[in-house]
Amino acid sequence: MKFIVLSTFLAAAAVAHADLIVTKHSSDFTYLYEMDVNPSGQDLDSNTTQDWFGGTAGGSTIPQDYTGGVARSDQNPASGDPQNLFRTDIGGSITRATLADANTPWTMELSARKTGGTQGVDGWFGVAMQNPGASFSTRVNFEDDRISYRTGGTYADYLVGTDFADGAFHTMRIAYEGSDNYFVWINDILLNSDLTSAGAFAGGNGSFNTGGSWFMGDFSGGIGGDWEVDYIRYEAGTAFAAVPEASELALFALGALSLALYRRK
Ligand SMILES: [Ca+2]
Ligand SMILES: [Ca+2]
Ligand SMILES: [Ca+2]
């Protein structure tokens, strides 16, 4: 009986990692934007070009408030649809400089929390990402009670019923393998856990910037509400799985212990 439990757990663990078996903690990524300062003024890849866009374009502004290690969206004026986002749609930006083409892999993890306001029809924090030269992009949203992933022109919902408006920080990791294959973790939970590489999430958001760009935060009328970002961490060249949660490791240890006890009997 205990052996069956362990076998089931091991099978679940194998599936949970899909085909991405190389893990890496985000704090070990190459580029760490910890939000102690405005990342638009940083040049972590030393290419003499600011890594992120700064200022306002099309009514959208990179967050200007950096206090206590977090970036804070400034939704003033309260009327209309003010938009705050992190964006890399500039020549030599961190993503354009480090992603060679449509199939260059990468891993990004961010930590964000909702601090107030009313979400839009697509939630309170969105991410849209497109490699240089890619024909598609990927789009993921934090909503008050779910995660939505754009696929096939519509949104699919995940983790429905989870309170993402609880004021706590939540992590979003996206790993791109190339060939329009994405893996998404929320709080270290792999959303497309039942899929292998060939059937990974396809970027279903269509093309929004063929030159390559990341948009993160509020960049559309469908996103609303206030938020803070604790960090954005990024590494080019490899799709890394999230490190299993401590609770999973504890379960694994428990399973191993059960097996040991089973064998002793
Ligand atoms: Ca740079
Ligand atoms: Ca908006
Ligand atoms: Ca921080």
Predicted confidence at residue 56, as pLDDT, reads: 85
Strand order in the sheet with 125-130: 56-57, 60-61, 83-87, 213-217, 125-130, 138-143, 146-151, 154-158
Domain ranges of the chain: 18-240
Q: In sequence order, what are the residues at sequence separation of 6 or more whose Cβ sits closer than 8 angstroms to the Cβ of residue 250?
A: none
CA distance 236 to 44: 13
CA distance 63 to 54: 9
Ligand 2 centre to CA of 128 (Å) is 14
| pLDDT digits 0-9 by tens, 190-228 | 887 665 543 456 556 778 899 999 999 998 889 999 999
| Conformation bin of residue 200: beta by default, left when phi > 0, alpha when psi is -120 to 50 | beta
CA distance 24 to 44: 20
Residues having C-beta closer than 5 Å to ion ligand 1: 43, 45, 47, 49, 51
Ligand 2 centre to CA of 60 (Å) is 9
pTM of the model: 0.84
Residues having C-beta closer than 5 Å to ion ligand 2: 81, 83, 218, 223
Ligand 1 centre to CA of 28 (Å) is 19
CA 259 to chain CA centroid, Å, is 36
* CB distance 208 to 85 below 8 Å: no
Which residues, given as ranges, of the chain have pLDDT below 50?
1-18, 77, 197-199
Ligand 3 centre to CA of 246 (Å) is 22
The CATH code of domain 18-240 reads 2.60.120.200
Predicted confidence at residue 264, as pLDDT, reads: 60
Predicted confidence at residue 64, as pLDDT, reads: 82
Predicted confidence at residue 10, as pLDDT, reads: 43
CA distance 113 to 161: 16
* CB distance 201 to 155 below 8 Å: no
Q: Which ligand is nearest to the CA of 82?
A: 2
Q: Which ligand is nearest to the CA of 42?
A: 1
Q: Which ligand is nearest to the CA of 229?
A: 3
Predicted confidence at residue 66, as pLDDT, reads: 93
